Amino acid sequence: MTALLEVSGLARQFRVRRGAWPFGRSATLHAVDGVSFEIEAGRTLGLVGESGCGKSTTARLVLGLTQASRGEVRIGGEKLPPTGSAPWRAMRQRMQMVYQDPLSALDRRVRVGRQVMEPLAIHGIGASGERREKAVAMMEAVGLAPHHFERFPHELSGGQRQRIVLARALIVDPQLLVCDEPISALDVSIQAQVVNLLLDLQARLGLAYLFISHDLRMVRQVSHEVAVMYLGRIVEQGDPDQLFATPAHPYTRALVSAIPVPNRGARRRLVLAGEPPNPVDRPAGCAFHPRCPFAVARCRAEIPELRTLADGRRAACHLVEELPQSWAA
């Protein structure tokens, strides 16, 4: 069976200027540098990593909102058509995006009910009378009442706005939802509600999610599989429980050790050595080597492939089999 979403060797580089104008030189920034993964219907892949590692660019590449420099995206076995083309617009119905900030995703001057209906008009689905009915039903499905239909975005709470964004994404019956930090802008008390709604919608509609977050605990809770990104590449991928209980890659170990642990008082944070990563100055060999306490000569020279380990997970580290089990896990 082919997976709903198949991503292979996806890469995107940007030309940027280095140094202050007018002395800056042009340089290449590898935002995403050869990323491959699959997501099946009804399943969630969690994508984690520090700010700037390429998560949002990956999301945009998957939807074709950013043109890939290399690689390929397939939805239901079909190759994603060129961005902006009519076949691409038709395919966009099958994949929707949920952004971090619901307020900027909504039009402040338009009543939210209209905004939920709008994608139906864009994709030419249903007659106008039916559209209103469908929008009210969809708003109900995400936990809003019919009287919310006539409200403006600023009259709703942050959680309600994100529900509107979800209703708007789901009204065209997509198969894949790409959620880029969907709860990061919400109050902590509301985050769990929206996560539960996402889980409930997935169970009811069989949606596939690409769930992006820097909140590892949230990712663990929602994901069937987790991929850890570092400077544009996936460095570890596997079962969430295994990955969080016994992280294999030194970078994953550092991330996991930084998760605040309840009942332990102070946060135990493993501070990584070296400079924070900069995708313009990607280190040779393993990009993580300047911050890795285990790095040897080989790590500075040779890029490690993402390979399957004996326990079934995948990691991109030359030394992973030789590392101490207990370090910072």
Ligand X SMILES: Nc1ncnc2c1ncn2[C@@H]1O[C@H](COP(=O)(O)OP(=O)(O)O)[C@@H](O)[C@H]1O
What are the residues binding ligand X (CB under 6 A)?
14, 16, 29, 31, 49, 51-57, 279
Measured N-to-C along each axis, helices 158-170 and 112-122 cross at an angle, to the nearest 10 degrees, of 20
Supply the minimum distance, in Å, between the C-beta of residue 226 and Mg ion.
Answer: 17
The entry of Mg ion, ligand X, none near residue 29 (CB within 5 to 8 angstroms by kind) is ligand X
The entry of ligand X, Mg ion, none near residue 52 (CB within 5 to 8 angstroms by kind) is ligand X
Note whether 14 and 60 are within 8 A (CB): no
| Strand-by-strand arrangement of the 233-238 sheet | 95-98, 176-180, 208-212, 44-48, 225-230, 233-238, 314-315, 307-308
- Alpha helices per DSSP H over 142-273: 158-170, 188-205, 216-222, 240-245, 250-257
Note whether 156 and 148 are within 8 A (CB): yes
Supply the minimum distance, in Å, between the C-beta of residue 55 and Mg ion.
Answer: 5
Pick between residue 114 and residue 214 the one whose CB is nearest to Mg ion: 214
Pick between residue 57 and residue 202 the one whose CB is nearest to ligand X: 57
Q: Is 156 left (phi over 0), alpha (psi -120 to 50) or beta?
A: beta
Pick between residue 117 and residue 209 the one whose CB is nearest to Mg ion: 209
Pick between residue 18 and residue 114 the one whose CB is nearest to ligand X: 18
Supply the minimum distance, in Å, between the C-beta of residue 275 and ligand X.
Answer: 14
The entry of Mg ion, ligand X, none near residue 152 (CB within 5 to 8 angstroms by kind) is none
Pick between residue 55 and residue 220 the one whose CB is nearest to ligand X: 55
Secondary structure of residue 129 in the 3-state scheme: helix
Number of Cβ atoms within 10 Å of the Cβ of 271: 8
Q: Rule CB under 5 A: which residues touch Mg ion?
A: 55-56
Supply the minimum distance, in Å, between the C-beta of residue 13 and ligand X.
Answer: 9
Phi, psi torsion values for 313, nearest 5 degrees: -80, 175
Pick between residue 55 and residue 131 the one whose CB is nearest to ligand X: 55
Pick between residue 56 and residue 223 the one whose CB is nearest to Mg ion: 56
Secondary structure of residue 131 in the 3-state scheme: helix
Please report which helix (H) or strand (E) contains residue 64, including its range: none
Supply the minimum distance, in Å, between the C-beta of residue 138 and Mg ion.
Answer: 27
Pick between residue 59 and residue 135 the one whose CB is nearest to ligand X: 59
Note whether 224 and 240 are within 8 A (CB): yes
Supply the minimum distance, in Å, between the C-beta of residue 219 and ligand X.
Answer: 13
Determine the residue type at 184: S
Note whether 95 and 59 are within 8 A (CB): no
Supply the minimum distance, in Å, between the C-beta of residue 128 and ligand X.
Answer: 37
Strands 44-48 and 225-230, sheet pairing: parallel
Supply the minimum distance, in Å, between the C-beta of residue 57 and ligand X.
Answer: 3
| Residue 178 structure tokens | 């790409």
The entry of Mg ion, ligand X, none near residue 31 (CB within 5 to 8 angstroms by kind) is ligand X
